[in-house]
Amino acid sequence: MNVEVLYITGEEVHAGDRVQHRGTFGTVVVVSADENSEFSPGYEDHAGADRGILICDDDGIENFVREGDEGLSFVGRG
């Protein structure tokens, strides 16, 4: 699926990606991009959210970041 939300490097963001955001590791659970959004199981209720990425860090804390956040880096595809 082409969700059209990108990391600063130009690579597409997908639900399930492992990321680091400002020093904290986590997993992308929602990619909100209008009609082309992706959700990890249990996060479907975030449909219609603002354009961006919802990350659940390794401690279970959720953080919403806007597309192009320079503090977000791709670690691996899950």
Quote the pTM value. 0.88
CATH of domain 1-68: 2.30.30
Given a cut of 50, whether residue 1 has pLDDT beyond it is no
Q: Name the residue ranges covered by the structural domains of the chain.
A: 1-68
pLDDT digits (tens, 9 = 90+) for 25-42: 999 999 988 777 899 999
40: number of Cβ within 10 Å: 18
Neighbour count for residue 17 (Cβ, 10 Å): 22
Write the CA distances from 64 to 22, 47, 72, integer angstroms.
13, 13, 11
Residue 3's pLDDT is what?
56
- Give the residue, 51 or 74, on which the prediction is more confident: 74
φ, ψ of residue 45 in degrees (nearest 5): -70, -5
Share of the chain above pLDDT 70, in %: 92
Q: Is the pLDDT of residue 51 over 60?
A: yes
